[in-house]
Amino acid sequence: MLDLKPKSRPAPSPPAKIWRNYYRIYRVLNLDRLGTVFPGVHAGPDTFPSQEIAESHGLHLVAALNWPGRCIVEFAGAFPEGERAN
């Protein structure tokens, strides 16, 4: 009678990557959104849709937190969600 073929479905697209910034902190800080942060490598509270946007925000934050001649916070990099900075 009628040859009905099932409609083919497109392959699912890979999930979009979410990027998170990591920072190396050199002294105890009291940050509003994070509370008290101790020295070490810590993840930032925000996620970003691309690596370029994440790095831009990270560098702006480091510039705002470090006063001239001192380095309290260093940008360790932007990594996909699920990966961590060493």
Residue 71 lies in a domain: yes
Query: What pLDDT does 65 receive?
Result: 86
Those residues with Cβ within 8 angstroms of residue 57's Cβ, 6 or more apart along the chain or in another chain = 21, 46, 48
Question: CB of 59 within 8 A of CB of 14?
Answer: no
- State the total domains in the chain: 1
Q: Token pair of 14, please? A: 């890979």
Residue 73 lies in a domain: yes
Q: Which residue has 């380095």 as its token pair?
A: 71
Q: What's the domain range around 23?
A: 19-80
Closest to 77 (Cα-Cα) out of 33, 24, 30: 24
Query: What pLDDT does 15 receive?
Result: 67
- Residue pLDDT tens, the chain, 86 long: 567 788 888 887 676 689 999 999 999 988 888 889 899 999 998 999 999 999 999 999 999 888 888 889 999 999 988 777 76
Query: What pLDDT does 13 receive?
Result: 66
